Amino acid sequence: MKRLLITCLALISFGAQAQKWGPTEADSTRCFENYNNFGSLCNNKEYLQAYEPWLMVYSTCPQASEVVYKFAPKIFDAKINLEKDTDKKEELIVALMKMYDDWILYYPGNEAKILGQKANDHYDYYPEDSYTAFQMFNAALAVNPGDIQPLYLNNYFNTAIALYKLDTLGSEGLLNAYGAVGEAIELQTNNWNLEITSLTEKDTLGTISAREKRVLDIDKRLLEQSNKLIGNIERGLAPLLTCDRLGLIYNQENLDKHAGDAAWLRRAEKMLSKERSDTSGSSDCTDNPIYYLVAQSLYDLDPTSQAARSMGVLSIKNEKYEDAILYFTDAISQEADPLKKSRDYLRLAAIHLKLGNLSASKSDCANAIRANEISGDAYLMWANVYASAAGSCGNNVFEKNAVYWAAIDKASRAKQVDPNLTGRADKLIAAFRKGIPDKSISFQFNQKEGDRYTIGCWINETVTVRF
């Protein structure tokens, strides 16, 4: 209904200006009639029947409306699939490619989307010509990687794999293609995560509109599709993603060659810091000496949130915790994605917990949850922070161990927001129960089952006494 309304409005607008677009008054009238005709057919998904009236408008009045170009791929697809004559089919495909060029010429502003669609059509119609499709996809990515659909990104990587198998593309080229896909997905997921966080809050409060609810569902579906895409690609690349193999690519020689190339440094950093297993059993490749040089070079050249995050990870590995705090704080200040911001706050919480700064660790956990309300990991960390305060918060044995009730509450909340953490949460809860005040001792301090007690110190939590 929405698309029909938009089309009708476009038709009304076109009717008011019809004479402007046609070379003659007669052409303008014919264009208007055929525009209405093919628009109605397309709205009914009768794309094959729409070809002739569409072609008349496209050929005679190419600037009638962008609707002419938005419907064109489906119209061409119906026509090409029906055509049996090889030469005529080729003519139609060539015409389709030219249509994309005209689209950009007459309606600039969405070049990346259009070039991505053009590249994908080339990939579909010329499956044997991976090299041209690969180059076309690269041209689209160079304009704006965030505008390339996940389906197109998947086909882009398929072209890279095909070229790799033909020895036309080397290992580094294949990894660069993987990096390009990852960067494009990251740009898109950043926007989806921001919108999901905002709309989820509205949904929780009951203030979300029907339209916003649909947007929320679409964003979640797109996010899931993108995560599956990256997962599928990584499984296919697994033999190439070992630390041993990456060490052959990301070495001192290549670092010297790409020292001023921020894109290369970003991809190298992501490849080396990504969790994986190899012959040495390492969970990532940050033990590679080149990783420190890559991360430092990237931070010096382009101190983004990701670069700061990498330096924070390195600082933890080198037990330079104060430096790590500065780097993660820097990453948080620049980060737009609330999920990444939440994970950085969790890293800060872990550092402050290790350093014994429990009040700061609690604050970090709270901030992590503000950024991501369903972060079960943040609640588990918070539970551990409270448990670490046992014996130090209060003036007697009851008060000093009452913190375990607060810890149990946080661990229980963790499995509520993230059922996948139920096993870990239950283990913590079982351990914490061993530390709660004894029933007889509690009675001595006038505390019995079901009473409410407020823990002081920096915790400031009210708990229910239970045994």
Which tokens go with 74?
């489906």
What confidence score (pLDDT) does residue 461 get? Answer: 94
Q: Is 195 exposed, middle or buried (0-12, 13-18, 19+ CB in 10 A)?
A: middle
Cα–Cα dist 86/91, whole Å: 9
Task: Using the structure block, give the residue that is written with the tokens 């044997």.
Answer: 128
451 — phi, psi (to 5°)? -70, 155
Q: Which two tokens stand for residue 389?
A: 């305060």
pLDDT at 15: 44
Half-sphere exposure of 279 (CA within 13 A, CB side): 7
Instruction: Check residue 5 and give its pLDDT.
Output: 41
SS3 of the chain: the string is CHHHHHHHHHHHHHHHCHHHHCCCHHHHHHHHHHHHHHHHHHHCCCHHHHHHHHHHHHHHCCCCCCHHHHHHHHHHHHHHHHCCCHHHHHHHHHHHHHHHHHHHHHCCCCHHHHHHHHHHHHHHHCCCCHHHHHHHHHHHHHHCHHHCCHHHHHHHHHHHHHHHHCCCCCHHHHHHHHHHHHHHHHHHHHHHHHHHHHHHHHHHHCCCCHHHHHHHHHHHHHHHHHHHHHHHHHHHHHHHCCHHHHHHHCCHHHHHHCCCCHHHHHHHHHHHHCCCCCCCCCCCCCCCHHHHHHHHHHHHHCCCHHHHHHHHHHHHHCCCHHHHHHHHHHHHHHCCCHHHHHHHHHHHHHHHHHHCCHHHHHHHHHHHHHHCCCCHHHHHHHHHHHHHCCCCCCCCHHHHHCHHHHHHHHHHHHHHHCHHHHHHHHHHHHHHHCCCCCHHHHHHCCCCCCCEEEECCCCCEEEECCC
Coil, strand or helix: which one is 452? Answer: strand
- Residues 233-290 have pLDDT tens digits of 888 888 888 888 888 899 999 999 998 999 899 989 988 888 764 454 446 888 888 9
Exposed/middle/buried for residue 129 (C-beta within 10 Å: 0-12, 13-18, 19+): middle
Token digits for 454? 């407020």
Three-point CA angle 457, 459, 461, nearest 5°: 115
Contacts of 75 (CB under 8 A, 6+ apart): 38, 42, 47, 48, 50, 51, 54
The strand pairing partners of 454, in sequence order, are: 462
C-alpha angle 368-195-336 in degrees, rounded to nearest 5: 50
As given in the structure block, the two tokens for residue 201 are 């809050």
Cα–Cα dist 180/134, whole Å: 12
Give me the pLDDT at residue 276, please.
61
- Does residue 462 sit in helix, strand or coil? strand
Nearest to 143 by CA among 104, 173, 175: 104
Between CA 79 and CA 77 the distance in angstroms is: 5
> Can you give the pLDDT of all 467 residues of the chain as single tens digits?
444 444 444 444 444 444 467 788 888 899 999 999 999 999 999 999 999 999 999 999 999 999 999 999 999 999 999 999 999 999 999 999 999 999 999 999 999 999 999 999 999 999 999 999 999 999 999 999 999 988 899 999 999 999 999 999 999 999 999 999 988 998 888 888 888 888 988 888 899 999 999 999 999 888 888 888 888 888 888 888 888 888 889 999 999 999 899 989 998 998 888 876 445 444 688 888 899 999 999 999 999 999 999 999 999 989 999 999 999 999 999 998 898 999 999 999 999 999 999 999 999 999 999 999 999 999 999 999 999 999 998 889 999 999 999 999 999 999 999 999 999 999 999 999 999 998 888 888 888 899 999 999 999 999 999 98
